[in-house]
Structure 1
Amino acid sequence: MKSSISLLTICGISELPDQGARSVTHVLSILDPDHPDPEAFQAYDPHHRTVLRFHDIIEPLPGMILPEPEHVRAVLQFGEDVAQNPSSKAEGHLLVHCHMGVSRSTAAMATLMLQSEPEESEDRIMERLAEIRPQAWPNSLMIGFADDLLSRNGRLVDALRRHYARQVQRDPKMARLMRELGRGREVEMAV
């Protein structure tokens, strides 16, 4: 991925139409299982796209699909595919999106960044993630799986704790919102 992708974008579904003119070459779509495929991609230039479907939750809930290690393995496989099959264009543009562009997509992007730059520190990856998407609140379950799969030995989860603390400090309303969404355990990680 390092050699062919020069632009990284994270967004939500409502922002997809705005990205169509930006020469996107690779897309990772993370959607709720029952959400229709976004129509915005019909207006995009030809691109490589992978779709994953699971809910943005961190605890089991009836009728919902919890992120699993296999989902993060699929993210890593997407990253390998991008690295092995660079775009025919000189510079690639990777777009990762979920419903709001806050949690699943930011966890996936952090995973992809660490995969392509294994020498980079976990804290620097979280800093870069916040530069790309200031409201980033990566799904902690996905980050935990990525930590294991990338052999980061807990360092990625520790960097996530520090990232959450910065996010709560930056926007104190974020803590209340995350608690309302059933993500209180992540808010507690920031303390």
Structure 2
Amino acid sequence: MPEIHVCSLARLPQVTTACGASHVVTLINAETPVPRPESVVEGNHLFLGMNDIVSALEGQVMPGEAHVRDLVEFARRWDRERPCVVHCWAGISRSTAAAFIMACAIRPDFDEAELARDIRFNSPTATPNRRLVELGDQTLGRNGRMVAAVEAIGRGAFAHEGIPFSIPVGRRG
């Protein structure tokens, strides 16, 4: 079954190889070099340059509407024949929010609260970036349910790096 895998930058090569991913989403500050895994063609790698913040901070790039629109479009174009890996620096905040948004975008039938509980079960450190989730909720017309779902699971356990995990999303059609 196709899955969205979530990991840190340090684990990107290992996770991409292990799951056989054809697509990668990078959410990291724009100055960080991220080599595209060899198994992923250029058009299947989405790079979203942003910092892990929830409110404006001088010198930082806050997650914005354009980032989320690009993420949703990328998710909907993904053929789901092979897995997609979503990563940020630590695999805790931006990447978990992006995976949550992608799953909601491609599977409107998913219950937001159940999906958030599954993320928490699979990743005790997951702390989805609230700003990204708010923008995803607005973009997808989820009427606050995505925000409420991540609020309900609360902040994850403190860690410097999250443990890789995945979300099953099923095939198209």
Could you say which TM-score interval applies, normalised by the shorter chain?
0.7 to 0.9
Which consecutive unaligned segments of at least 5 residues does structure 1 have? 178-191
CA RMSD, aligned part only? 1.8
How far off its partner does 1:7 sit? Answer: 2.4
**SS in structure 2 opposite 1:21?**
helix
Higher helix share: 1
Percent of aligned pairs sharing the same letter: 27
Does the Cα contact within 8 Å between 2:23 and 2:85 map onto a contact in 1?
A: yes
Does the Cα contact within 8 Å between 1:8 and 1:132 map onto a contact in 2?
A: no
Query: What is aligned with 1:182?
Result: none
Query: What is aligned with 2:11?
Result: 15
What do the CA deviations read for 1:43-69 (whole angstroms, capped 9, x no partner)?
Answer: x32442111101000111111111111
Does the Cα contact within 8 Å between 1:111 and 1:146 map onto a contact in 2?
A: yes
1:49 and 2:42 equivalent?
A: no
**Amino acid corresponding to residue 15 of structure 1 in structure 2:** R
Larger Rg: 1
Query: What is aligned with 1:61?
Result: 57
1:75 and 2:71 equivalent?
A: yes
**Amino acid corresponding to residue 119 of structure 1 in structure 2:** D
Does the Cα contact within 8 Å between 2:5 and 2:84 map onto a contact in 1?
A: yes
In structure 1, C-alpha distance between the alignment counterparts of 2:144 and 2:24, rounded to whole Å: 28
Query: What is aligned with 1:33?
Result: 30
What TM-score does the superposition give when structure 1 sets the normalisation length? 0.75
In the comparison of the two structures, how many residue pairs are matched? Answer: 156
Q: For CA contacts below 8 A with separation 6 or more, give which structure has more relative contact order.
A: 2
**SS in structure 2 opposite 1:145?**
helix
Does the Cα contact within 8 Å between 2:23 and 2:40 map onto a contact in 1?
A: no
Which structure 1 residue ranges, 4+ long, deviate > 6 Å from structure 2? none
Any residues of structure 2 matched to 1:109-188 within 5 Å, and which? 109-164=99-154, 167=156, 171=157, 174=158
How far off its partner does 1:31 sit? Answer: 1.5
1:100 and 2:84 equivalent?
A: no
**Amino acid corresponding to residue 32 of structure 1 in structure 2:** N
**Amino acid corresponding to residue 147 of structure 2 in structure 1:** V
What do the CA deviations read for 1:113-155 (whole angstroms, capped 9, x no partner)?
Answer: 0111111111111122234433110000110111111111111
**Amino acid corresponding to residue 147 of structure 1 in structure 2:** D
Does the Cα contact within 8 Å between 1:10 and 1:133 map onto a contact in 2?
A: no
